[in-house]
Structure 1
Amino acid sequence: MPRKRFTVEQIIQKLREAEVELARGKTIGLVCKQLGITDQTYYRWRKEYGGIRTDQAKRLKDLEKENARLKRLLADAELDKAILKEAAFGKLLSPVKRCQAVTYVRNTLGPEIVSERRACRVLGQPRSTQRREPYLPDDEPRLVKRMIELATQYGRYGYRTIWGMLLLEGWKVNHKRIERLWRREGLKVPKKQPKRRRLWLNDGSCVRLRPGYKDHVWSYDFVQDRTSDGRSFRMLVIMDEYSRECLSIDVARRLNSEDVLERLSDLFIQRGTPNYIRSDNGAEFTAKKVRKWLERVDVKTLFIEPGSPWENGYVESFNGTLRDQLLNGEIFDTLLEAKVLIERWRREYNTIRPHSSLGYLPPAPEAIAPCLPASATLQLANKDTDNHLGTVT
């Protein structure tokens, strides 16, 4: 005979019937036989539900259900807490990290305790993303290899500059993919520079007068470094603000206003004169002979406010790049070595290195002809004239 289960209400009702029959003088065995239960069941029921009314039994049943529900919620909360505790090894900002966290949590706490559904829900990972098989493009190994080669060759370039160089080489790749591979390979990501508040801007500031076309505004400045013997040398940097092209870097132990005039005259012969030339208030730039000579050749001077290098931002940014990517990583034994390496870096900067403000193109992709001094230019011109006259004769 199959075992029958009774509800709490049925049990209390049978106990009431048993009490009535016992009051009539019947024995317990006869009453249990009449109710269809055993003596042991009767005594167990009377111990658990004796003296309880039906409404009290319903209330007790509801309390038991509520207690079971609260226990289940507490167990779920503790399990979620354990999942978060196991996965608390960093911010889970990417699907890849969340996928790794889900797998790690299930392996640590046990797949029979933590299901994939629960782990994904707690860690905020869609199950479709968790189960998606990663797709590896065919060109990714070659791309990573080339990216590492460029990062090794140009150690201070960030991923955006490397991305620009890859575009110039013909790679069809998104900058976000390069950033992902860059971080995956553990390459350096340059920190962002903090913004600076401008206190004032005078008429010579690069914010008030921005370059509008090539050879519109030039700027020049001095940079100082030392050779391995401790002796200092100076560099005169001249650049075109619009194209970001570095026109020249003169290297010498000493540079004065005469050297500034000589270099400017060579560049004016080679490229023509700009409309404006911007500089700080150094003695070499504010010298009377320099200002008068620039006035005679119809070049207007722009002097920034003293103590405000951000007003000459184009050349200051270039100086920072020069120091970060070359000067800080090289030890110059002689002045000649410094001249050769700095000139090589200048050509690389103009023809190879992508510039973010130019759409990740180099400032001067075409080959750069060497800057000849004025005397050499005149000698070549005289030689060409003599050859021409000899041919006519």
Structure 2
Amino acid sequence: MPWNVRNAMSLKEEFVSLARQPDANIRELCRRFSISPQTGYKWLRRFEQGGSAALQERSRRPASSPRLTEAALEAEVVALRQEHPAWGGRTISSLLSKRIAPSTVTNVLHRHELIQSTEKAREARLRFEHDAPNDLWQMDFKGHFALQQGRCHPLTILDDHSRFNLAIHACDNERGATVKEKMTEVFQRYGLPVRINVDNGAPWGSPRNPGEVTELSIWLIRLGIQISFSRPYHPQTNGKIERFHRSLKAEVLDGRQFSTLVQAQTAFDRWREIYNLQRPHQALGYQVPMTRYHPSPWAYPNQLEDFEYAPDDILAKVYHGRFRFQKRYFSIAKGLVGQTIAIRPGRDGGGMFDVYFCHQRLRTIDVNKPDYGP
């Protein structure tokens, strides 16, 4: 994200956190953050000498002190809850180095009428997560809301393994060209993931034809990324980003009115820093996402290379949303016009074939049931 939009302090802390991880390639990180190696090493030296406070001009008061009296500790709990109304007892307890039990935090919140009696702990769920950062990213728009000037469409991207938020972009629309521009910024900074999961809506899919690829999805596939689509009417298949959206709504959007996209982006950037670097997450054992994330070694390419299919693949050219195979015509995504696809025998045989674009399987066809007549 451009320097004049993102909070410079957030950039410094994020860079230092990533650069201090084992096996970090500092020069590559400097390139992705658009800073010189000299600047990167200077930030690291300052952090090693004075921690986060040394990275900024203003001083930062510690979140807590081991010498706090019981009354002062209670005041700290109240202040944290007032600043972050969606944080519960376990999160606040962890942030205060567990010097106060979660149940005690909850009692304090009740005593100060900062928690509703109707609030109930959500049932624990067995959550699946991928083994490593960048194995899977989840991406979606957090709806849209009115500004004093236009509307804001927050585009969010989340790493499945670490819950690290790669971006919250305040967009003025949900068009594919806009998403491509924002994703390019993310790829240039963090590299490419193995897979991205999205829903079946625009701009990456088609609600009427689940699994159909758009021009945006085709670009992602050509980058070598596997695209997966959530099951229609089953948002839980993108569950982590849905939970992220609830937090974004509760902690940033509820009860607030933004004048412009720039004002909304400023609020997103501030909250993103707290979410990634400061807020403990229950699903991570009360660690912060930054402790589990590192950029992908798979760098964003300067130009797209042509994909090489296997020698035994049957190749076909796409014309006007269809292709010809064994003198029969079958439908395919219109965005693939002019592209080459591969046709491979299906596992079960019997006239069944799988259709691929690059590495991505698009559909299965039955040569005995063409989509178009002779």
TM-score range, shorter chain: 0.5 to 0.7
Q: 1:314 to 1:187 in 2, by over 3 A?
A: same
Matched, 1:346 2:346: no
**SS across alignment from 1:224:** coil
Matched, 1:321 2:321: no
Shift of 1:271: 1.6
Alignment-derived partner of residue 302 in structure 1: 228
1:211 to 93, 106, 130: 130
Name the CA distance, whole Å, in 1 between partners of 2:150 and 2:214. 29
Name the CA distance, whole Å, in 2 between partners of 1:311 and 1:331. 31
CA deviation digits over 1:332-362, x for unaligned, max 9? 1222211211221112211122211112222
Name the CA distance, whole Å, in 1 between partners of 2:74 and 2:166. 34
What letter corresponds to residue 70 of structure 2 in structure 1? Answer: E
Query: Mapping of 1:1-393 within 5 angstroms?
Result: 139-167=69-97, 172-189=99-116, 191-192=119-120, 210-229=129-148, 231-286=150-205, 287-364=213-290
Shift of 1:259: 2.0
CA deviation digits over 1:14-70, x for unaligned, max 9? xxxxxxxxxxxxxxxxxxxxxxxxxxxxxxxxxxxxxxxxxxxxxxxxxxxxxxxxx
Name the CA distance, whole Å, in 1 between partners of 2:144 and 2:232. 22
Shift of 1:195: 6.6
Aligned length: 225
Give 1 or 2: higher strand fraction: 2
> Could you tell me the TM-score, scaled by structure 1's length?
0.51
State whether residues 78 and 108 of structure 2, in contact with CA within 8 Å, keep that contact through their aligned partners in structure 1.
Answer: no
Q: 1:345 to 1:194 in 2, by over 3 A?
A: closer
What letter corresponds to residue 82 of structure 2 in structure 1? Answer: T
Shift of 1:289: 2.1
What letter corresponds to residue 340 of structure 1 in structure 2? Answer: T
CA deviation digits over 1:131-150, x for unaligned, max 9? xxxxxx98321210111111
What letter corresponds to residue 225 of structure 1 in structure 2? Answer: H
Alignment-derived partner of residue 28 in structure 1: none
Shift of 1:230: 7.5
What letter corresponds to residue 357 of structure 1 in structure 2? Answer: A
Unaligned 5+ segments in structure 2 are 1-66, 206-212, 303-374
Q: 1:315 to 1:367 in 2, by over 3 A?
A: closer
CA deviation digits over 1:314-345, x for unaligned, max 9? 11110111111111131112222112112211
Name the CA distance, whole Å, in 2 between partners of 1:253 and 1:193. 36
Shift of 1:363: 1.2
CA deviation digits over 1:254-309, x for unaligned, max 9? 13112222222222222221111111011211243222222222211110111111
**SS across alignment from 1:329:** coil
Q: 1:232 to 1:155 in 2, by over 3 A?
A: same
Q: 1:224 to 1:368 in 2, by over 3 A?
A: farther
Give 1 or 2: higher helix fraction: 1
Identity of aligned residues (%): 27
Shift of 1:176: 2.7
Greater relative CO, 1 or 2 (CA 8 Å, sep 6+): 2
Q: 1:193 to 1:230 in 2, by over 3 A?
A: farther
State whether residues 133 and 294 of structure 2, in contact with CA within 8 Å, keep that contact through their aligned partners in structure 1.
Answer: no
Unaligned 5+ segments in structure 1 are 1-136, 198-205, 378-393
Q: 1:325 to 1:365 in 2, by over 3 A?
A: same
State whether residues 221 and 315 of structure 1, in contact with CA within 8 Å, keep that contact through their aligned partners in structure 2.
Answer: yes
Q: 1:194 to 1:140 in 2, by over 3 A?
A: closer
